[in-house]
Each structure stands twice: as C-alpha cells, then as structure tokens.
Chain A
Amino acid sequence: MYGGNNQFDGNAAFSGGGFMPSQATQTVGDHSFSPAKNRDSQTLIPLTVKQISEAFQSSDDKTNFLVDGVDVNNVKLVGILCNKVERVTDVSFGVDDGTGRLDCFRWVNEAVDTKEMEAVTNGMYVRVHGHLKGFHGKKQLMAYSVRPVDDYNEIAYHFAQVIYVHSYNSLRKQHDSSSMPSQVPSSAFNTPLKGYQASASNQFPGYSMDGIRGVDKMVLDYLQQPSCLALEKGVHRNQLVQQLQLPSEKISEALDSLESEGLIYTTIDEFHYKSTGNG
C-alpha cells in the first residue's frame, strides 16, 4: 500500500485520519505535524469549488488553508470530470461542481491508481477526495481517490453536507469553543470535533422526575455501553458522577439499588462497578 517510494514516512502514512493515501510521496514537506495537530488537521471536509476559491492560507508555513476558520487539508468534492489528461506518472483533470472548476491531479504509481483513473472519463459525475495544495498562488487538488457516482442522490447529499458543515463550523467559530446545543448528529461528519466530547452527555435521557428509578436506569444504561462492558475492572463510581453529572448520593443510591437487584457488581474494589448483562 505504501510501495512505490522507498521512504516510509510513518508520520505521514498514519496521518490519513481513516484514509490511507496510496502514494507515500508527500511532496510539499508536510511531514512534521505533532500527533495532536495531526488528528485535528486531517479531517475530511466536503466543499464546493467556490469555497475552495475563497479559502485563504493560514499563516503557517505548512501551506494549510482555512475555510470557516477550520484547517482544511482533506477535501471531498462531487462534480463532473473534465479535461482528463493521462501522463506517465500522473493524471490531471478538472472537477466542475457547478460552482466552479478546480484543477486536480492524481499520482499513478501503482496499478490500483491507474485502474481507478481508467474507470472515470470526461463528462462523468465523480466523487473526489484529496489534499488541497497551493502552487504558485494557484489552488490545486492532489487527489487520492476518484470514484464514479452511481447513485445520483449523492449530489444532493453532498451539497446538503456542504451546507451543514459550513453552518456547523461558522456557528462554532462564532461561539468559540462553547459546546453546541444538542443538534449535532452523532457520527456523520469528520469536522474538527473538539466540542463533540461534551455533547456525549446529551445521549442520556434527561434527569427523570421519577427520582431513584430514573437515576438507576441512567446508571445502568451507562454501564451497559459496549465501551464500559469491555473494561475488565468496570467503571469507578466517580466517573459515573462526572459523566452523568449527578450528585454523588444519587449515584450511590442507584448503585446500591442496582447491586441488590443483581444488575451490577463490584470488581476490584467497592468503587468499581460493572453491569452483569451483556448490553
């Protein structure tokens, strides 16, 4: 997968954020991200060519672009392929998504790449993923995935996604890093999600007026999450207080009640609990 070039740059190779570029060449010196920055700046953003034309370069020397205040590195476009020119080591083409036309190129080091590019022709609707690059003031997309669109509902979907991500990022920019009111759908987007962890608590039902019963259920639901079931020593009581944002006494009562009903049990000490069920 990383063959073709002899240098295996671990940092660049694993910085794909889910996409593993088949070309190991990262020509424009963007190797040396710190790991934390890597994860944030390698998210995939759906954009229109118009947005790309208006993106400006951040003051980094890393040639990062900013759209709506968000670092843009991996971009997704959906549009009509045009001006395809095949050369020995690369294929250049344009993508016209109705808002503008962006020049793109794709390295073809391996058979997989060539095969993928042969499957797309001028006039065809394609979905392109790539890195946004600046080159002598011009913006270009270094594509690492070019695939035909099979279901044309994807076009409306892509633009709806563009609109959503734009709204999300713009609102986030306005509110700085205060967390969003719970409108964020769970996992649809890889937008930089610093505020996302905070919204996890929105998944649990609100504090119930049934008193004990409601809290019991909340505690039990929490302990039955796959991530908690996977923990051998279970969850510490304090973590429950923190995650569910409930008073310690209520949590204690709930834990005692659940334990007496045989729904949970203590593990390494009296503070760690695990659910008996399989969730």
Chain B
Amino acid sequence: MERNLHRQLANMKKSLFDQGYLDHEQFTQLEELQDEANPNFVEEVVTLYYRDSARLIQNIEQALEKNPLDFAKLDNYMHQFKGSSCSIGARKLKNECTQFIEYCKTGNGEGCKRTFQQLKKEYSSLKKKLEHYFQFARQVGPLEKACRPK
C-alpha cells in the first residue's frame, strides 16, 4: 500500500515537471538537500518564498499603477522576484519574469501589465499545486521512514 502512495506522489511531481511548472533539475536539487533531520526543507523554502515574495508582488502592483511607469524600478523588483523564483525551480514563473523584464527594457507598459496579470495567475496556481504536493508528501513521508531500513 505504501508503494502505491509513493507512486502517486512521484506521479504528482512528474506531472509538475512535464507541465512545465517546475524545473526538474532545480527542484530535484532542493529535494536532495533533505534528510531525516530536515525532511521538509523544500516545503520550508517554498513557504518562505511565498511569504517573502508577497511583498514584492505588492510593490510591483503599486508601481504598475503609477503614471508614468518607472521601468527601472519595475525591472529591479522583477529581477529580485525572478531570482527567488528560479531558486525554488518555478519554471513558468521564471519565464513570465523574463518576459516582463524584456517589456521593461523596451518601455512597453501595456506588455508589462499584461504579463504581470499572467504572472499573478501562475503564482497562485503554482502555490496551490505545491501546497497539495507537500500535504501529500507529508502523509507519505512517515510511511517511508517506517518501511525504509536504517
């Protein structure tokens, strides 16, 4: 029965990779940093990311309401946001960030706003998916410890 849960968890993860939400290499790298003493490290990092980036999202939101737009500031915020997003392996989000930064460079305000709407959707969507994944992982986790020999 445990093997079935493991397979389900692995499938969930594979789906996140295949659909492009997560970068396989980076996310796997983070998981490799987990051990018995730190079994929920990835969840902790992701939680930290969502908490920390909420502030950035808000800053960008406010900056996009200004007229005229301060592209240098927007670029700066987005670089920060892109950095953290990369660190957790958020692939689609990273691409949205890159797009946004391109629009900043060309001074395309409409492009920035459009991309930002897309980005926010992706940000929320990923959060739900990851919450679901970690919730399931926590359930599977203890079973793994129980059946894995020392």
Whether A associates with B in a native complex is no
Chain B residues with CB under 8 Å of chain A are: none
Chain A residues with CB under 8 Å of chain B are: none
